Amino acid sequence: MKAIVVGGGIMGLSTAWALSAAGQDVALFEQGPLPNPLGSSMDEHRLIRHPYGDHAGYARMIDPAYEAWEEMWRDLGQRLHAPTGTLALTGNGADWADRSAASLAAIGRPMTELSIADLPQRFPMIDAKGVERAWWIDTGGELFAQDIVTALVRHLEQRTNVRLHASTPVRAVDVEHGRIVTQSGATHAADVVIVAAGAWVDRLLPSERGRLVPSRQVVVYFRQPEEARAAWSKGPMIIDKTGEVGLYLVPPMQGRGMKVGDHEFSRRGDPDMAREADAGEMAPLLARCRQLLRGFDAWQIDRLKVCFYTVTEDERFVVEKRGARGWVMSPCSGHGFKFGALMGRELARTIIDVRDAEAHARWAAGLEAQAPT
């Protein structure tokens, strides 16, 4: 079998990795360099965590996701992950952490509720004002995203059944006949075409417009006093849903940066636009940081990073068959990277073994407990 993959982010590369490991011939096309600094996958780190609110289907996927990453680490010869544990906070009428605890208890992954009075003693970097309940689970950590993508590119370059076409934009996709046309006018054909083009997917598959929506997001990297950085370098990851804006905090593990972002989708923006941001647009997030994090006034903004998600209305993944020979692969909505190795592995298995495409789509959307067999 010959496969064409359009897109060189974590989803496209992981699918190429899994297909080629199974002996299939793969041609991957990326509009920019490989890795592409404008891709959604290109940042220092991404989180992997069990707490998932009401989305129990995705909570169930975390253990298989870890297994798939272990398979990838063996191939790459390095483990690009650091454990942090996960601290989920709730308050101000928000109950995401409470719902996460309930859904995880139902699948045998219980969280531990921490006393609010004891929270500052266990985590002295945190101010508990406004926190009504706190939940802890030992699992969870950071995936070193851009290092993973870079290592995957280097690994695939060594496989004789993989052809990587960097700086080769695709202008048209024919999912019925398994063909693509590049910007130069060259036509390439295969048995299957997987479109994993991130925030550009609706340009290649116009039928996805309005469903898969580019969303401009901004994250903040901070410089910290040495004492604060040393404390935070031991974790934890924080998911905070107590203020006007929810935030996630990614600690500076193994020399990476301290990052804070929110999960509020802009649902606007052009991924080809200038990627500039100013601190003013981050005011609500910074205000919440000031309330939650002790000593925050001594932190300094190191840089603002603009990236683009591809979001759906219900935040569920879209991995679906299109035409006789095509697939659209968009497991994103701001929470997809952690499933990269798993999504690539399972889509490869479905394509090779001709597993039920509708069942696969439902599993990827978090609506089935297991991938099709």
| Residue type (1 letter), 367 | L
Q: Is residue 202 domain-resident?
A: yes
Q: What 3-state class would DSSP assign to 373? A: coil
My answer on whether 130 and 82 are in the same domain is yes
My answer on whether 116 and 234 are in the same domain is yes
Q: Is residue 41 domain-resident?
A: yes
My answer on whether 222 and 279 are in the same domain is yes
My answer on whether 151 and 29 are in the same domain is yes
My answer on whether 28 and 117 are in the same domain is no
Question: What pLDDT score was predicted for residue 303?
Answer: 95
Cβ proximity of 9 and 166 under 8 Å: no
Question: What pLDDT score was predicted for residue 91?
Answer: 87
Question: What pLDDT score was predicted for residue 79?
Answer: 98
Q: Report the pLDDT averaged over residues 283-303.
A: 94
My answer on whether 74 and 159 are in the same domain is no
Q: Is residue 64 domain-resident?
A: no
The yes-or-no verdict on residue 230 having pLDDT over 80 is yes
Verdict on whether the full-model pTM lies above 0.95: yes
The yes-or-no verdict on residue 242 having pLDDT over 90 is no
Question: What pLDDT score was predicted for residue 93?
Answer: 81
My answer on whether 221 and 307 are in the same domain is yes
Question: What pLDDT score was predicted for residue 278?
Answer: 85
| Residue type (1 letter), 112 | T
- Find the domain containing 253 and state its range: 70-142+213-311
Whichever domain contains 265, its CATH number is 3.30.9.10
The yes-or-no verdict on residue 279 having pLDDT over 90 is no
Cβ proximity of 137 and 112 under 8 Å: yes
pLDDT-derived band of residue 196, with 50, 70 and 90 as boundaries? very high
**Residue range 64-87, pLDDT digits in tens:** 999 999 999 999 999 999 999 999
Q: What 3-state class would DSSP assign to 221? A: strand
pLDDT-derived band of residue 243, with 50, 70 and 90 as boundaries? low
The yes-or-no verdict on residue 19 having pLDDT over 70 is yes
- The number of domains in the chain is 2
Question: What pLDDT score was predicted for residue 251?
Answer: 98
Question: What pLDDT score was predicted for residue 128?
Answer: 86
Mean pLDDT for the chain overall = 95
Question: What pLDDT score was predicted for residue 334?
Answer: 92
Q: Where are the beta strands (DSSP E) in the chain?
A: 2-6, 25-29, 46-48, 81-83, 86-90, 112-114, 133-137, 141-143, 162-165, 170-174, 179-182, 187-189, 192-195, 213-223, 237-241, 247-250, 258-262, 300-311, 318-322, 326-330
Per the model's pLDDT, the better-predicted residue between 349 and 235 turns out to be 349
Tokens of 329: 């692969």
**Residue range 320-372, pLDDT digits in tens:** 999 999 999 999 999 999 999 999 999 999 999 999 999 999 999 999 989 99
Percent of the chain scored above 70 by pLDDT?
100
Q: How far apart, in whole angstroms, are the C-alpha atoms of residue 109 and residue 102? A: 10
My answer on whether 138 and 217 are in the same domain is yes
The yes-or-no verdict on residue 180 having pLDDT over 90 is yes
Q: Is residue 226 domain-resident?
A: yes
My answer on whether 248 and 344 are in the same domain is no
My answer on whether 170 and 290 are in the same domain is no
Q: Residues 148-157, buried b or exposed e (16+ Cβ, 10 A)?
A: bbbbbbebbe
Question: What pLDDT score was predicted for residue 92?
Answer: 84
Question: What pLDDT score was predicted for residue 188?
Answer: 98
| Residue type (1 letter), 166 | A
pLDDT-derived band of residue 267, with 50, 70 and 90 as boundaries? confident
My answer on whether 227 and 349 are in the same domain is no
* DSSP for residue 293: B
Question: Rounded to 10 degrees, what is the CA torsion of 237, 239, 243, 247?
Answer: 80
